[in-house]
Structure 1
Amino acid sequence: MKKKPVVAILGATGAVGQEFIRLIEERKFPYSALKLLASARSVGKKMAVNGVEYAVEEATAASFAGVDIGLFAGGSISKVLAPEAVQRGCVVIDNSSAFRMDPQVPLVVPEVNAADIALHKGIIANPNCSTIIMLMALKPIYDLSPITKIVVSTYQAVSGAGKEAIEELREEVSAYMRGEPMMPKILPTKSLPVHYPIAFNLIPHIDVFLDNAYSKEEMKMVHETHKILHDHTIAVSPTTVRVPVFRSHAEAIYAETATALNVEDIRNAIQQFPGVQVQDDLEHMQYPMPLYTSEKYDCYVGRIRKDLFNPKAVNLWVSGDQIRKGAALNALQIAEYMLAHNML
């Protein structure tokens, strides 16, 4: 594309939308014009991007006329507006779950399966944050030997439930320290009739439970892993847990491979993989922690060790910023890839 694209951010006032703005500034993402879109209640709100003030506009189908790239922050509105945007010539990179399992829509982590971007028909889906962070750690291992089984437990920050959940954690901590009752309204899921405090607590429930007793969040990790790696033979067993952390997710992963691998080969492969850093020095107590991986671009992997009983298995720990690589950064990298390869 010879000219700079016209870019629209849908959901600009939310946590992921605001992160899109920060990343556009930090990464000097090129654009000739920018639209900030949100629901009617945010219309007229002023937001600055690269020193220029923009007024938030209400998102409608007509908003996407003349837009080249739509960065959708997520939410149910994607299902309605993404097809409308595509009809108007816009390529949509969508952070919601609306299109992830649509066989016509590529589901992309650029470091893992960038080639799938070329298959798009107007919409490209951003995977679930927990899936992205897991596959950033596992793809370099998969490239050494196919992975046959994954057992993963996630420790997911409240940012994954949006700005309201971040504020609720702050309020609950403050109330607890004042000796006042905590009044949860958001977690585990806002639409449910029962809510639990997240401050000083763990909630083994993200999204709704399905008939198989797994949550929707857990099944996303199963189905999305299969689609991204083009390998439906991998046995994926997830448990997803919300923890009182603001931004970064962490995951404990057991991965079984077709052939036995050397730990040093695994460590070297992870270190050389783009977007991942090894932080694994037990002598100096160096390992990834959400407090320190927040605001970072990369995912960090540590506690890499062979399983005690299975010579074909490895255990590891990964942490990455949910709002960045788990959401806005991954989507913006897709857009960057498209620009670099003249795909618009």
Structure 2
Amino acid sequence: MKKPVVAILGATGAVGQEFIRLIEERNFPYSELKLLASSRSAGKKATVNGREYTIEEAKPESFNGVDIGLFAGGSISKELGPEAARRGCVVIDNSSTFRMDPEVPLVVPEVNPEDISWHKGIIANPNCSTIIMLMALKPIQNLSKIKKIVVSTYQAVSGAGKEGIDELTDEVKAYLNGEEMIPHILPSKSLPKHYPIAFNIIPHIDTFQENGYSKEEMKMVNETHKIFHDDAIEISPTTARVPVYRSHSESVLVETEDELSIEAIRKAIDAFPGAQIQDNLQEMEYPMPLYTSDKNDVYIGRIRKDLYNAKAVNLWVTGDQIRKGAALNALQIAEYMLDHEMFK
């Protein structure tokens, strides 16, 4: 196939900027590149592979002649996703807009690449926490059916975008200067009340639902069921925001149908693409967000049997939210489609 025409929607944001870095790093092929954003960012400049581009305002006609649309996320996906698809563009979308649409595949390329084949113009990128968790659990699922998952997340402020990153920096500076920390973003910009994230943990990401779980927590439940094609898995999530710039961490208990040895689990994870074991207690080696930031792989450590359930193991999982949790996963979907000649 000829090199595709690629458009990045949201090119000035954290995920959009990561798309640009990854396209350069991975030598992603393209014949033309369009950088799109809102009218506020139109006219700004960005350099990709040594060439300067002018950011264009994203409109439906922006996708005429575009083969791949890498959407960084946001509410604009709801409007422009279907418009781009109608124009023959394959949209790979980072927002939550299409994830649970039964007509839209929800894909982690290492986990369920076969679902890409039935797309109808839009492919959804899962939530960052879901991606990071399933990269650790898919090797286990390959050994034995998963029955139950209990997960607690420790999510970096990068999950709230550039504004979340800036807020942590501003609050740390204010605190160290003896000034009042005035939060504006977290737990969510849309909520009426905000809390400082510096030197704090906020057990609240997105809005709370009637069942007492947050929308972020229910994303992990619903998306895992869809990706694994198994609604019978019992999933109990708790998601929290922590004062870390990049890389989400997760404490995961997973119960399987069969009893598995730690050795078998280690071997399966070690052989799984995109997953790395970092688990040497004697040398105090285990995954930490400071050291997994800007890395493509998801790191798994503290692998140990549950104390009371022989069919359950506990894991500590860390992965870069902006990379594998967002931009890299989307780009890998496009790479898979190119490798398998899935573009018309």
Partners of 2:135 and 2:340 in 1: CA distance? 22
1:53-79 alpha-carbon deviations (Å, 9 max, x no partner)? 000000000000000000000000000
Q: SS of the residue aligned with 2:112?
A: helix
What is the identity, as a one-letter code, of the residue corresponding to 1:185? H
Partners of 1:188 and 1:237 in 2: CA distance? 21
TM-score using structure 2 length: 0.99
Q: Structure 1 residue 260 and structure 2 residue 262: aligned?
A: no
Partners of 1:324 and 1:86 in 2: CA distance? 25
Q: Structure 1 residue 290 and structure 2 residue 289: aligned?
A: yes
1:140 corresponding residue in structure 2:
139
Equivalent runs, 1:299-338 vs 2, <5 Å: 299-338=298-337
Q: Kindly state the Cα deviation for residue 47 of structure 1 after the two structures are TM-superposed.
A: 0.2
2:22 corresponding residue in structure 1:
23
Q: SS of the residue aligned with 1:167?
A: helix
2:274 corresponding residue in structure 1:
275
Equivalent runs, 1:1-344 vs 2, <5 Å: 2-344=1-343
1:97-138 alpha-carbon deviations (Å, 9 max, x no partner)? 000000000000000000100010000000000000000000
1:304-327 alpha-carbon deviations (Å, 9 max, x no partner)? 000000000000100000000000
Q: SS of the residue aligned with 2:239?
A: strand
Partners of 1:75 and 1:35 in 2: CA distance? 18
1:179-206 alpha-carbon deviations (Å, 9 max, x no partner)? 1000100000001110000000000000
Structure 1 runs of 4+ off > 4 angstroms? none
Q: Structure 2: 5+ residue runs without aligned partners?
A: none
Partners of 2:270 and 2:7 in 1: CA distance? 35
What is the identity, as a one-letter code, of the residue corresponding to 2:179? E
TM-score using structure 1 length: 0.99
What is the identity, as a one-letter code, of the residue corresponding to 1:116? D
Partners of 1:93 and 1:43 in 2: CA distance? 22
What is the identity, as a one-letter code, of the residue corresponding to 2:90? V
Partners of 1:90 and 1:192 in 2: CA distance? 34
Q: SS of the residue aligned with 2:40?
A: helix
1:7-38 alpha-carbon deviations (Å, 9 max, x no partner)? 00000000000000000000000000000000
Partners of 1:149 and 1:341 in 2: CA distance? 34
What is the identity, as a one-letter code, of the residue corresponding to 1:241? A
Q: Over aligned residues, Cα RMSD in angstroms?
A: 0.3
Partners of 1:88 and 1:133 in 2: CA distance? 32
Partners of 2:51 and 2:205 in 1: CA distance? 38
Partners of 1:135 and 1:316 in 2: CA distance? 12
What is the identity, as a one-letter code, of the residue corresponding to 1:277? Q
State the identity as a percent. Answer: 76
